[in-house]
Structure 1
């Protein structure tokens, strides 16, 4: 089905000079303005446009509601002065700011149910984590250096098996990066968000059961490749689906439930590893196969969720989009407001992007300046999730603790503690991600992850016969997880789901998730060898250095997105990259040094982004924003 809103954009879109005082170039927004696309339109012209819209979309019966919604969308901070609103409608508009977490049950059901899909990913990681201690032996591919430690019998296949175990563990991430993620665009195009999630849930259910029944390492490898198809398409779709359904003021808190449920899946996986530890030779089968459990409610429950309103609008099905929004908002007025506001911004997007096929859309990730900046930022936050080192713990914590001298049971118990910390410390991000902000969370937590990894690595030098040896290593690993969970844990998938325009959202998210899972595969394959060659101390130090590198990349290339609608982010990512970098180096960094190093309380920071008076919500804090007078050419993106 064609993207009909783009095809009709030219006919529907009124020349900007007729209704707006000032235009913003969405490919080179050198003045860093965040603009409401309805601002400046006269009352008469706006009402005429709404009438045309209602007639074209067969929504004449909602004409009055759409008109009121358009007026609220045009000037959301001044709704009290709009004639025709009932007292209940005014109260609802006030409460969405003063009681922002008071949302319909259908909205919470949708976000929670779909994020359960993340449990599969987390549970599978920890299932293989525990199974690493036994499945290589069961299949005759032991990665132990000695076949019999007591008699010191060398393992002749040691080197080969190190790589083989890593490849088997990496199989889901290889399949996700090269196939599963890229299937999400055509699947979303033909079957919608719900259909894609159902497809991925099936592939996260059956292959997991198959992995527990595998009779050879080749069969295990194939079932885990099939699992990757589901993981990739699911991870590329669920955060988008959640981001498109929730209001901007709480989007981060609800979309980040993806990470919270991933952490919960990791925790449950460690619980399952311990529960089946003493069942004998089938322990690893149960550890791998138990990850099917969270996929069952996902397969069934997705049927009861509404389709994404923005996806329906992309297909020109506005009446259905309105019904979906009515389930996801507290009042019909709020649904009508969001419907018309999104429609207005989609017309602006169409002017600068247009329509294209799948291959062209992928190429445009790197050629259209506004989209390219989103591609860069999403690439950085996703790559940083692997650079920080969290998955060396999620994949190999049991192996690491065993290297620290722990018994298999003690290693599983220590891994359980890691999973518990990872889950518990994800909860603060429900609030901080939309108040403290995505960017600030990353800038604060990455230095903490660097020094905790470094400290944990040096603790391997404590004599192994000391009671402090294992305890201090576990302590710093747990502390590392505590800093990761509210920062780099929830931000990447939340951030990547919101930064792309609707026209490129599926392929953009596929790129971001493929980056994340592709590098997860590299990490999984290389870490056993790295551990053997560099020792745990060297491996921990290596990832500590990568944390510092990721911090610099985030500082320069990742803009803030909190509390902005998905459409308003078009203006944020229209700011040239060079301008953003210049601001961070020349203004934000000196301000930070003056304020927090020399404790100069009078230090001030000139903002970057500045908003017109017709944008809802509070302005971003000064340290998030940008304002500038220098002109930057489009080549300086």
Structure 2
């Protein structure tokens, strides 16, 4: 029997090959990943639902630009809290239990937002839902990364981003259907409440289905539940390869201290830097400014209400299609290549949009075209790849806490963008605002080129060992 081989690729990476690959239970691991990825759907739904509701809420609650930004961005305050707690709590209580808690918090937030009688109550409900989103956005990619075989990890973890995009696309249709169900007065008093309240449906589905999936085998091993961990690994990988994975995890966890200070060793410091900086750059390149405020952006091009919502639906459709493309490419081209291609195209698109606004061509079809190109480029690169890399690069014993640190940075950047975007749009104007996003995209390209490592085809333990070798130099 052949057990495990290593072969040297042209790029110098060590990739595992073995005769047991045909025994990977692709159906089972895919099903588990899909269930977990519903947490991503909640993420997409809850972050994008505000785009269709905020205009009506402005009229009902007489919101200023600052309060409009706060109504949108308060979700991210909860998400920062949820992401900060997710690491410690999931390391203690398990990935699965905390995902169930996330589903409950999301559902409570959806109903509370729908029933809110004033802006203060709405904000409190949104923060509660945001805590759930922060937990799920941190733990879903981490959980899938910990159960997925190395050769499938990229596309399986990217199912989370696909689910996020499906949630965003679905809510655009929901928002339009609800807005068209009554007149303007009904939309202002009641319609936007249905937009939020319907989120209870995917929330309940997520909670129920989570009871059917196993706990992360790496978390089980870390907790001393080796037999359960081995059972899960064998069900996913087959008996022989499952045992190999188990022994590799054992060796890895035996050599770890489990202290968060591990991240400040010379090699691991780079991993921490990559996670935090990529998380921030994902947001400050402007994607959620477009997703949250798409109708408001298109309003600046002179589009009417129905045209705004239709164009927003087109944005969601492009996002969905190119996220599917990323699932096909991510384990073929690799993480770094997709990031470089994506950020290069994003940079060009943002500068073209900024120039068109600057030149007074606000009604130009080029604005919609290059916004769509930007969204497509983001969907194949920064969207799925950042979450994947954050879930891959940290040591097993502290993966939950380390991923949480990077996720907090991401959500804090999201808050900054969503809070300041309305003010920037009305103050500095769309030309300078999109120009600033373009500069951030250049920085993302350069950071990827010089700092971000390639992790394609390597087990989590191999990635961890590569950081360890750097720290021992």
Normalization by structure 1: what TM-score? 0.69
Deviation track 1:275-315 (CA, whole Å, cap 9, x = no partner) reads 11122231211222233332222100011101111111001
In structure 1, the residue matched to 2:385 is 491
Note the C-alpha offset of 1:104.
3.7
Count of aligned pairs between the two proteins: 458
In structure 2, the residue matched to 1:424 is 321
Determine if the alignment matches structure 1 residue 114 to structure 2 residue 114: no
Between the aligned partners of 1:244 and 1:510, the Cα distance in structure 2 is 15
Between the aligned partners of 1:392 and 1:72, the Cα distance in structure 2 is 49
Determine if the alignment matches structure 1 residue 556 to structure 2 residue 464: no
- 1:543 pairs, out of 437, 449, 457, with 437
- Secondary structure at the aligned position of 2:380 is classed as coil
- 1:319 pairs, out of 207, 227, 241, with 227
Q: From the CA coordinates, give the structure whose radius of gyration is larger.
A: 1
In structure 2, the residue matched to 1:286 is 194
The correspondence of residues 328-477 of structure 1 with structure 2, limited to 5 A, is 328-329=236-237, 331-347=238-254, 349-350=255-256, 354-356=257-259, 361=260, 363-365=261-263, 367-460=264-357, 469-477=363-371
C-alpha contact 1:126 1:394 (8 A) present in aligned 2: yes
C-alpha contact 1:212 1:286 (8 A) present in aligned 2: yes
In structure 2, the residue matched to 1:196 is 98
Between the aligned partners of 1:337 and 1:463, the Cα distance in structure 2 is 62
C-alpha contact 2:40 2:137 (8 A) present in aligned 1: yes
Determine if the alignment matches structure 1 residue 94 to structure 2 residue 25: no
C-alpha contact 1:454 1:540 (8 A) present in aligned 2: yes
In structure 1, the residue matched to 2:178 is 276
In structure 2, the residue matched to 1:125 is 47
Note the C-alpha offset of 1:355.
3.7
- Secondary structure at the aligned position of 1:205 is classed as helix
- Secondary structure at the aligned position of 1:559 is classed as coil
The correspondence of residues 231-250 of structure 1 with structure 2, limited to 5 A, is 231-250=133-152
- 2:394 pairs, out of 500, 518, 525, with 500
Between the aligned partners of 1:405 and 1:289, the Cα distance in structure 2 is 31
C-alpha contact 1:194 1:307 (8 A) present in aligned 2: yes
C-alpha contact 1:128 1:169 (8 A) present in aligned 2: yes
In structure 1, the residue matched to 2:3 is 72
Between the aligned partners of 2:203 and 2:350, the Cα distance in structure 1 is 33
State the 4+ residue runs in structure 1 displaced beyond 6 angstroms.
none
In structure 1, the residue matched to 2:14 is none
Normalization by structure 2: what TM-score? 0.92
In structure 2, the residue matched to 1:88 is none
Note the C-alpha offset of 1:515.
0.8
Which structure is higher in helix share? 2
C-alpha contact 1:110 1:305 (8 A) present in aligned 2: yes
- Secondary structure at the aligned position of 1:169 is classed as helix
Give RMSD over aligned pairs.
Answer: 2.0
Note the C-alpha offset of 1:389.
1.3
Note the C-alpha offset of 1:439.
0.9
Note the C-alpha offset of 1:95.
6.2
Deviation track 1:203-251 (CA, whole Å, cap 9, x = no partner) reads 1111111101111000010001101111111111111110010110110
- Secondary structure at the aligned position of 2:331 is classed as helix
